[in-house]
């Protein structure tokens, strides 16, 4: 069963827009894969498209706050494939007791307009070096300790133009007609265009 380990504590920065995680915590998905977030990470909810905030509220308000922090971190460091990262966000929201309907809409937003990157090797070594290797899960520590990591130029992909009105019109369908996140993905690709 998917669950969190540790209880995260947060502190708002002076600007009131960025939040700093004061202690390490992790999300363990249903496949028992650990998504660890180190202490002192600063997040701003930017991995969730801003147009979705108007639908469901800010990423730091409500039950999906912990899920948005884990999602932000993995969108920043890109040690795992983009689709797996977005799917983890859905699972983490459900573990946080976000309703299925609301979680599907939020998942639709990140799948439709959230960040993407080419491959798992698009690892953000510069960002990882700012955090001690001990803060990472075992898998990440091995990567973080690599001094000369060879990697291709990172290509981050996001939709340049987002049809917010079309997305808003489909939210009820995401909530009610889609039983799974695979249904959400298919509906987006059928009605809003290919995503890759």
Contact between 137 and 26 (Cβ < 8 Å): yes
Cα 169 to Cα 133: distance, rounded to the nearest angstrom: 44
- One digit per residue, pLDDT tens: the chain, 196 residues? 999 998 889 898 887 778 889 999 999 999 999 999 999 988 877 677 777 776 666 666 778 889 989 998 998 888 888 999 999 999 999 999 999 998 999 999 899 888 888 765 555 555 554 444 344 433 333 333 333 334 344 556 666 567 788 888 888 888 889 999 999 999 988 887 665 5
As a whole number of angstroms, the distance between CA 137 and CA 35 comes to 8
Q: What is d(CA 84, CA 86) in angstroms, rounded to the nearest whole number?
A: 6
Per-residue tokens: 18:
């960025």
Structure tokens at 191: 């009605």
pLDDT at 160: 58
pLDDT at 78: 85
What pLDDT does residue 112 have?
87
Q: What pLDDT score does 56 carry? A: 66
3-state SS, residue 124: coil
Tokens of 161: 């133009």
The 3-class SS string of 25-83 reads EEEECCCCCEEEECCCCEECCCCCCHHHHHHHCCCCCCCCHHHHHHHHHHHHHCCCCHH
């Amino acid at each position: 069963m998917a669950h969190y380990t540790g209880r995260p504590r947060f502190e708002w920065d002076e600007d009131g827009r960025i939040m700093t995680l004061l202690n390490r915590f992790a999300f363990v998905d249903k496949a028992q894969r650990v998504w660890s977030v180190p202490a002192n990470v600063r997040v701003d909810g930017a991995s969730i498209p801003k147009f979705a905030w108007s639908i469901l509220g800010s990423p730091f308000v409500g039950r999906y706050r912990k899920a948005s922090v884990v999602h932000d971190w993995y969108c920043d460091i890109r040690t795992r494939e983009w689709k797996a990262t977005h799917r983890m966000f859905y699972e983490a929201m459900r573990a946080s007791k976000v309703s299925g309907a609301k979680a599907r809409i939020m998942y639709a937003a990140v799948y439709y307009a959230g960040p993407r990157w080419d491959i798992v090797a698009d690892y953000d070594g510069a960002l990882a070096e700012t955090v001690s290797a001990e803060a990472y899960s075992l898998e990440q520590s091995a990567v973080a300790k690599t001094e000369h990591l060879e990697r291709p130029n990172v290509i981050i992909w996001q939709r340049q133009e987002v049809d917010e009105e079309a997305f808003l019109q489909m939210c009820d369908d995401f909530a009610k007609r889609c039983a799974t996140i695979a249904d959400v993905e298919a509906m987006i690709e059928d009605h809003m265009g290919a995503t890759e």
